[in-house]
Amino acid sequence: MNRSLTKVCTKCNTEKSLSKFQIKAGYKDGHASWCNDCLKVWRKGYEVKNKDKLRAADSSRKLMKNYGITLDEYNKLLEKQGGGCAVCGKSPDSRRLHVDHDHKTGAVRGLLCSGCNTALGHAADDVSILQRLIGYLTRGDA
């Protein structure tokens, strides 16, 4: 192989085309030291061993990106709500509670279970719809 168009992977010690390596600006030749195949095998093993760590990091990134709060702020809000949904009090199961926020201002209002979050969403955050629902449920003709 033409040496200028190839590289030896430091993981599997195989000479491969540069196209088989990720482009990395910080490296002398501009390409990663491990080939894509070795990197894929390593990444798969890392993901299996570090599933909880990766899930927590992903959750933390999503909270900040979507709602502007940290995982610590989420946990403090959950504690302030007594460990459950702000409406019905139901404790979270295997999934986190939904972050409820004002869609106009973006301000976080609280944490809701799936049922309460869905009900509020279907009512489009409209207090008059929610009041009519209460009236419907409490009328005595059923």
Work out the average pLDDT over 38-47. 89
Q: Is the pLDDT of residue 1 over 80?
A: no
Work out the average pLDDT over 56-77. 89
Q: Calculate the CA dihedral of residues 13, 17, 23, 25 and round it to 10 degrees.
A: 70
Residues 83 and 117 reside in one and the same domain: yes
Do residues 41 and 34 make contact, with C-beta atoms less than 8 angstroms apart? no
Residues 61 and 25 reside in one and the same domain: no
Structural domain boundaries, residue 23: 3-49
Q: Is the pLDDT of residue 27 over 80?
A: yes
- List the structure tokens of 92: 């979270």
With a pLDDT cut of 70, the percent of the chain lying above it is 94
Residues 22 and 37 reside in one and the same domain: yes
Residues 89 and 23 reside in one and the same domain: no
Neighbour count for residue 38 (Cβ, 10 Å): 19
Work out the average pLDDT over 20-44. 92
Predicted confidence band of residue 119 (pLDDT cuts 50, 70, 90): very high
Please state, in angstroms and rounded to a whole number, the distance separating the CA atoms of residues 39 and 34: 6
Rg (CA), the chain: 25
Residues 117 and 64 reside in one and the same domain: yes
Residues 86 and 18 reside in one and the same domain: no
Please state, in angstroms and rounded to a whole number, the distance separating the CA atoms of residues 67 and 60: 10
- In terms of Cα–Cα distance, which of 117, 69, 120 is closest to 97? 117
- The total of structural domains in the chain comes to 2
What does the pLDDT read at residue 3? 56
Do residues 111 and 142 make contact, with C-beta atoms less than 8 angstroms apart? no
Residues 33 and 66 reside in one and the same domain: no
Residues 79 and 132 reside in one and the same domain: yes
Domain containing residue 38: CATH number = 3.30.60
Residues 20 and 7 reside in one and the same domain: yes
Residues 56 and 126 reside in one and the same domain: yes
Residue of 57 and 22 predicted with greater confidence: 22
Q: Is 136 helix (H, G, I), strand (E, B) or coil?
A: helix
pTM: 0.60
Please state, in angstroms and rounded to a whole number, the distance separating the CA atoms of residues 67 and 101: 8
